[in-house]
Amino acid sequence: MRSHYDVVIVGGGVQGLSLAYNLARSDLLRVAVLEKSYIGSGASGRNGEMIRSAFASLEWIRLFDKSLQLWESLSAELDFNVMFTRTGYLVLASTHDELGECRIHIERQKELGLDTRLIEADEVLRLVPALNPRWVTGGILQLNGGSARHDAVVWAYARAARRLSVEIFPHTEVIGIDIKSGSVSGVRTTKGNIETQTVVNAAGAFAGQLAAMVGLHLPLEIYRLEMIVTEPLKPFLPVALSSPHIMGYMHQTTRGEFAGGAEVEGRLPFSGLKSTRMAVQNMARKFISLFPGLGGVNLMRQWAGVVSKTPDRGPLLGRVDKVEGFLLSAAWGGYGFMGSPAGGKLMAELILTGETPKHIQPFNLNRFKTGKLIVDSSLVVSTESIEKNEKNRR
């Protein structure tokens, strides 16, 4: 470890690694990535792998469609197969009210040039005959959405960053950040101290703890999300699929495994990584209700990951007041993986030029002071939290 770096990124997940790679492409800065565990040990290696930009709000669509465009050529750019597969992505509507919401969302998506279309119940069932017709009223199909392999993306960004002389230090925990005259001056770690004027908080679920080292409070809560994977099955799910109705998301891997996750209603914030029986029972009930054919299928794996979430469920991106040189790429919730190509590229642009790209401007920390919350009703989260935030915005 050197005594000085131009930029120190705290967090060795896909957001931190993507930023490091994009900074290093400029060949102007010496960059270090610090990770307290192994690279990709957080949510980057524990997510659902699904990718879309078919959201409801201008802010989410603009940011994530930028990312989706980058996914198309990411394997070639990084010289590593990230296994991006354009299967299509279906946002399923299960009630007439949800289908009405889809009709509103599709108008915004079309205005912004997305490759999406509204499909009725009969077309959904032709596309995915295994679905229970009881829970199908229609949906939004994004033809260029899909999935990628999360481990491959971590490895690809890490290898490409190292090739451009980024120095990555796993098992190196940050224990303090030094501030002088309101500006970042250094980082203290378990393996030594570093002088730097720029620190990027990409610490995932633990971004709040890192921010507290500079006296900054972030409006975050840590939640545990869980997933399951079944034994290989004959192909029955040709698209990535999310169901806001059950707060679930799922796809079938190239090996035939059904992989999916779902939030548990009313779950309180929690940071433990131990899988729970309650979660697997909740997921099993929901997935079998959608796909009756899954009844009796063997469960192969179950795992948990933790994420930090803001009150409006949008990420925190950009500079902060009062602490010069401390930047945020945090609180991506369950969407940091799909947003990693754009997140890293746009944050690098901010650091290199000093100008905040329009895609990330709305996601600044100050929105929680001004009341300009970003509410997107197409997210796979509790409807209670969305309704609460909508009232706050009004």
Instruction: Spell out the domains of the chain, with CATH numbers in brackets.
Output: 7-46+151-219+311-377 (3.50.50.60), 89-143 (no CATH), 221-309 (3.30.9.10)
Residues 79, 88: Cα–Cα separation, whole Å: 24
pLDDT at 267: 65
pLDDT at 382: 58
pLDDT at 386: 43
Six-digit token pair at 13? 């997940």
User: Mean per-residue pLDDT for 123-130?
Assistant: 98
pLDDT at 394: 46
Examine the pLDDT at 128 and tell me if it is beyond 70: yes
Which residues, 6 or more positions from 7, have their beta carbon under 8 angstroms from its beta carbon?
23, 29, 30, 31, 32, 196, 198, 199, 200, 351
Examine the pLDDT at 391 and tell me if it is beyond 60: no
Residues 22, 365: Cα–Cα separation, whole Å: 23
Residue type at position 117: R
Residue 307, classed as helix, strand or coil, is strand
Examine the pLDDT at 383 and tell me if it is beyond 70: no
Q: Sorting pLDDT into bands at 50, 70 and 90, what band is 268? A: low
User: Mean per-residue pLDDT for 112-118?
Assistant: 97
What DSSP string describes 226-273? EEEEEEE--S---SEEEETTTTEEEEE-TTSEEEEEEPPTTPPP----
Examine the pLDDT at 279 and tell me if it is beyond 50: yes
Task: Check if the beta carbon of residue 60 is closer than 8 Å to that of residue 376.
Answer: yes
Q: Which residues of 364-376 are buried (b: 16+ CB within 10 A; e: fewer)?
A: bbebbeeeebbbb
pLDDT at 274: 82
Question: pLDDT (tens digit, 9 = 90+) per residue, 306-331?
Answer: 999 999 999 999 999 999 999 999 99
pLDDT at 273: 79
Examine the pLDDT at 162 and tell me if it is beyond 80: yes
User: Mean per-residue pLDDT for 12-16?
Assistant: 98
Question: pLDDT (tens digit, 9 = 90+) per residue, 77-98?
Answer: 999 999 999 999 999 999 999 9
Q: What is the mean pLDDT of the chain?
A: 94
User: Mean per-residue pLDDT for 170-197?
Assistant: 98
Task: Check if the beta carbon of residue 199 is closer than 8 Å to that of residue 90.
Answer: no
Supply the pTM of this predicted model: 0.94
Task: Check if the beta carbon of residue 335 is closer than 8 Å to that of residue 50.
Answer: no
Examine the pLDDT at 240 and tell me if it is beyond 90: yes
Closest C-alpha among 204, 139, 166, 192 to residue 19: 166
